[in-house]
Amino acid sequence: MNKEEIEKIIFNSLKQIAPDTEPSKLSPDENIRETLGIDSFDFLQFIVSLDEKLNLEIPEQDYGKITTLNSLIIYLTQKIK
Amino acid sequence: MIEFVMPSLGADMEDGILVEWHKKKGDAIKRGDIIADVETQKGLIEIEVFEDGVIEKLLIEPDTKVPVGTPLALINPTNKKAETIISTDAQKEASHPIAEKEITPTLNAVGVNKKIKISPLAKRVATENNINFSTLLGSGENGAITKEDVEKAIAQKQKSLANHEASGTTTEDKTKNASNSIRAAVAAAMSKSNREIPHYYLEKTIDMTKALAWMNRANKERSVKQRLLPAALLIKAVAISLREVPELNAIWDNGLQIKSDINIGFVVSLRGGGIIVPAIHAANLKTIDEIMSMLNDIIPRAKALKLRSSELSDSSITITSIGEGGADSVYGIIYPPQVAIIGFGNISEQPFAENGMLGIHPLVHVTLAADHRAIDGLTGSRFLTVLNTHLQNPESL
């Protein structure tokens, strides 16, 4: 899976939980949750959605490593390998 | 015969539009079945029945706006069930000596031969225009329904139909309308509260080290879908603390009326602005996992404004939680007729002194806003102390 495919899955999942936002307009180093106004509950739904689409469980202690689009893509790319 | 009436889904609701019937005359219904959709300020709500029986008659046409308490349908209860209900009610009375009065009964048992006073002319006009006169309030002698009353009802019906056609032409308009009406509902309830309820406020800082450590351990054993959030723990801790300080789990209606069921209203913020407060029923009897799975079900539906009547109507206390990364404290405004609201700020790492040692601990500022007509500061303080004790023993939650 390449970067563009991962990005597409991220955007779809974010759009699902925050339908009024434009995730594709996020800058790479912006804090995703702050910019899109995602609360703890929505964030958990996002993690569940990534798990379903990528078959990949993100442990809670890694939440700090995936705060921006850039860091999330790097994290997922490494995990998928 | 039982009258199924337009339920009140909160102190701020005055009327609702019956949008669609899901059942028709002669249908058998079970307790908990969705009988109709009603449009309220809080979105399109599925209305449930609380009785087994058979629909005898539908009294209100779809697209009609009616005040809270208006009979919508007649239900013929299943005999055996009716007897059971009487006996369980009697048992309930006996086992809960604390007086409990439902402020908004959804079902009213009425005599079958309720005689309606209506003039022959009014009756004919009503029949011709398809108006159900049994729901009208008469302004004539001894409450008799006059031709004028019927004409008013016809005008009202036409107006509500016209409004309904005019509104909701696009999904965007509908969302905007819903958002505006929720704003109005919040404004009405909060103004009433601030006007009538003498609030007092208490605050306690609670160390969340043990509770979070317990939750992190629990989450390691769970799949992503079953993961817990601190909110589930906080709800459970509040619920069991209320067993020990029941005065807060109550309503104020010409005096303090303590509720036997602990139904916790949980504030959900809507993305477009406004809030909605679905209830977690009998939270003290549910496990933390059960509360979490209820939140997983109810929060997305609340955000989409797709709740059921029972989920909006019977909270006995409210919790508002700011969540991760937000403000440190929240001082709530009580949702009438409740007497208390508990606020949790963001859980954050802060310096904390314990046994003469200073350390860094995850702390949460918990606030209580309570109705001073109903309860005093000492009771409120006792509640916060009990809550702290429970959160220091998460394994027993």
Do residues B240 and B111 share a domain? no
* Residue whose token pair is 């993305």: B271
Cβ-nearest to A51 among B224, B271, B324: B224
CB within 8 Å: A47 and B224: yes
Radius of gyration of chain B (CA): 24
Q: Of the residues B124, B151, B166, which one is the last residue of a structural domain? A: B166
Quote the mean pLDDT of chain B.
Answer: 85
CA distance linking residue A7 with residue A1, whole number of Å: 10
CB within 8 Å: A40 and B229: yes
Which of A28-37, A66-75, B54-63, B119-128 bottoms out in mean pLDDT, i.e. has the lowest? Answer: B119-128
CB within 8 Å: B229 and A59: no
Task: Report the pLDDT value the prediction gives residue B343, as an integer from 0 to 100.
Answer: 98
Task: Report the pLDDT value the prediction gives residue B172, as an integer from 0 to 100.
Answer: 64
Do residues B244 and B143 share a domain? no
Has residue B194 been placed in a domain?
no
For residue B346, count other CB atoms closer than 10 A to its CB.
18
Do residues B217 and B362 share a domain? yes
Q: What is the number of structural domains in chain B?
A: 2
Task: With cut-offs at 50, 70 and 90, classify the pLDDT of residue B91.
Answer: very low
Cα torsion angle, B224, B344, B262, B395, sign: positive
Percent of chain B with pLDDT over 90: 55
Has residue B191 been placed in a domain?
no
pLDDT at A2 over 80: yes
Write out pLDDT tens, residues B353-392.
999 999 999 999 999 999 999 999 999 999 999 999 999 9
Q: Which residues of chain B are at the A interface, by a Cβ-Cβ cutoff of 8 Å?
A: 216, 219-220, 223-225, 227, 229-231, 269, 271-272, 295, 299-300, 323-325
CB within 8 Å: B230 and A40: yes
Quote the mean pLDDT of chain A.
Answer: 93
Task: With cut-offs at 50, 70 and 90, classify the pLDDT of residue B170.
Answer: low
Mean pLDDT of A5-34: 94
pLDDT at B56 over 60: yes
Domain CATH code at residue B386: 3.30.559.10
Q: Of the residues B124, B147, B166, which one is the last residue of a structural domain? A: B166
Q: Residue A40: its chain B contacts at CB < 8 A?
A: 229-231, 323-324
Relative to beta strand B275-276, strand B268-269 is antiparallel
Task: Report the pLDDT value the prediction gives residue B211, as an integer from 0 to 100.
Answer: 98
Question: All domains of chain A, ordered by start, with CATH?
Answer: 3-18+26-80 (1.10.1200.10)
Q: Is B391 helix (H, G, I), strand (E, B) or coil?
A: helix
Task: With cut-offs at 50, 70 and 90, classify the pLDDT of residue A72.
Answer: very high
Has residue B253 been placed in a domain?
yes
pLDDT at B89 over 60: no
CA distance linking residue B194 with residue B8, whole number of Å: 21
Q: Residue B227: its chain A contacts at CB < 8 A?
A: 44, 47, 60
Q: Which of A65, A7, A40, A6 is nearest to B347 (CA)?
A: A40
Do residues B297 and B384 share a domain? yes
pLDDT at B164 over 70: no
Relative to beta strand B275-276, strand B256-258 is unpaired
Do residues B138 and B218 share a domain? no
pLDDT at B127 over 90: no
Cβ-based neighbours of B302, under 8 Å, separated by 6 or more: B268, B270, B276, B278
Domain CATH code at residue B134: 2.40.50.100
CB within 8 Å: A37 and B219: no
Cβ-nearest to B295 among A19, A41, A47: A41
Q: Of the residues B109, B141, B166, which one is the last residue of a structural domain? A: B166
Cβ-based neighbours of B94, under 8 Å, separated by 6 or more: none
Do residues B85 and B130 share a domain? yes
Has residue B46 been placed in a domain?
yes
Has residue B188 been placed in a domain?
no
Do residues B269 and B315 share a domain? yes
Residue B318 has what DSSP assignment? E
Token duo for residue A20: 């009024």
Shortest Cα–Cα distance, B328 to chain A (Å): 15
SS (H, E, C) B45-79: EEEECCCCEEEEEECCCCCEEEECCCEEEEEEECH
Has residue B252 been placed in a domain?
yes
Give me the domain span that covers residue B61: 2-166
Do residues B148 and B50 share a domain? yes
Do residues B249 and B344 share a domain? yes
CB within 8 Å: B299 and A41: yes
Do residues B120 and B204 share a domain? no
Has residue B132 been placed in a domain?
yes
Residue B143 has what DSSP assignment? G
- By the 8 A CB rule, do B247 and B375 touch? yes
Read off φ and ψ for residue A63, nearest 5 degrees: -55, -35
Has residue B178 been placed in a domain?
no
- By the 8 A CB rule, do B118 and B145 touch? yes
Do residues B217 and B143 share a domain? no
Do residues B148 and B216 share a domain? no
